[in-house]
């Protein structure tokens, strides 16, 4: 997408960018003229996602990397910053959330719990620290972390990892405010992506939906719109917040 020659091109780095929310975030930002850098452990899939954005007229590159690898994330952020002199948006989206990591702690055992927290929590810290030097002083610089409705409901190690993400969002917002960087999070509820529609049993979907205040179905576009707002100048006075997009399922004070 072409931009006004007088308007600086923004650069966004999106972790877990090969599929799901990450890919959808990249598509949406690219349509707004943002240069998108997708990061994922799956090198073939992340390059395919970036190629699809380029084929649609957007600007994108795909970089392979594990968010828990501090050295690699520093390399990724430095490479991403080269295109337009810095990074304007960081979306910490990468996370473990499969059925394998949704089991009770007593069943998962220490190794899987450690891996869950390494990716979902330490990964956010690693990427934030790596991106910070390239975001300092950039007008409108914004980070968005992806938490979960499970963070507000208790009862699982996965939810606890996402509760830690919500807490980190407040801490990082405070620490990065002097750098002019806003930090917020999104907690998605039941979002009927293609994967969820195909894999989640109908009984489970019905049970979760019954917990919502709204009887609308949550769609991927709802999370994308929340991200676009939080990373825009419309949200310039919003930082340290966790936006729950759950149809009221995880409402609370």
Q: What is the pLDDT of residues 235-251, one digit of tens each?
A: 999 999 999 999 999 88
Q: Could you say which DSSP state residue 124 is in?
A: H
Buried b (16+ CB within 10 A) or exposed e, 132-160: bebbeebeebbbbbbbbbbbbbeebbbbb
Query: What tokens were used for 108?
Result: 């998962």
Q: Where are the beta strands (DSSP E) in 75-216?
A: 89-92, 142-146, 182-188
Sign of CA dihedral 159, 160, 161, 162: positive
Question: What pLDDT is stored for residue 7 in this prediction?
Answer: 67
Domain 11-191+222-241 falls in which CATH fold? Answer: Rossmann fold (3.40.50)
> Tens digit of pLDDT for each residue in 193-251?
887 888 788 888 888 899 999 989 899 999 999 999 999 999 999 999 999 999 999 88
Helices 20-31 and 43-55: crossing angle, nearest 10°? Answer: 30
Q: Where are the domains of the chain?
A: 11-191+222-241
Catalytic residue among 158, 182, 186, 245: 158
> Tens digit of pLDDT for each residue in 116-137?
999 999 999 999 999 999 999 9
d(CA 120, CA 140): 25
Q: Higher model confidence: residue 16 or residue 200?
A: 16
Sign of CA dihedral 240, 102, 222, 123: positive
Question: Is 101 an active-site residue?
Answer: no
**Percent of the chain scored above 70 by pLDDT?**
97
Question: What pLDDT is stored for residue 2 in this prediction?
Answer: 45
d(CA 170, CA 216): 29
Is the pLDDT assigned to residue 3 strictly greater than 60? Answer: no
Q: Higher model confidence: residue 3 or residue 107?
A: 107
Question: What pLDDT is stored for residue 199 in this prediction?
Answer: 78
């Amino acid at each position: 997408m072409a931009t006004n020659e007088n308007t600086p091109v923004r650069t966004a780095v999106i972790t877990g960018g090969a599929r799901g929310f990450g890919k959808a975030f990249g598509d949406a930002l690219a349509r707004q003229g943002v240069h998108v850098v997708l990061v994922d452990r799956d090198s073939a899939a992340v390059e395919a996602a970036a190629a699809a954005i380029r084929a649609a007229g957007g600007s994108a590159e795909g970089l392979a990397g594990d968010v828990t690898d501090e050295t690699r994330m520093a390399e990724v952020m430095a490479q991403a910053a080269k295109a337009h002199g810095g990074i304007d948006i960081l979306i910490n989206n990468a996370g473990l959330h499969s059925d394998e990591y949704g089991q009770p702690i007593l069943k998962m055992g220490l190794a899987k719990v450690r891996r869950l927290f390494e990716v979902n929590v330490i990964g956010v810290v690693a990427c934030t620290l790596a991106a910070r030097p390239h975001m300092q002083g950039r007008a409108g610089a914004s980070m968005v972390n992806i938490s979960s409705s499970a963070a507000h409901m208790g009862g699982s190690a996965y939810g606890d990892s996402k509760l830690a993400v919500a807490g980190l969002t407040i801490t990082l917002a405070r620490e990065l405010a002097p750098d002019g960087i806003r930090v917020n999070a999104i907690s998605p509820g039941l979002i009927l992506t293609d994967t969820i529609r195909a894999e989640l049993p109908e009984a489970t979907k019905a049970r979760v939906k019954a917990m919502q205040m709204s009887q609308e179905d949550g769609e991927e576009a709802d999370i994308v719109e929340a991200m676009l707002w939080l990373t825009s100048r419309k949200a310039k006075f919003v930082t340290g917040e966790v936006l729950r997009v759950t149809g009221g399922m995880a409402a609370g004070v």
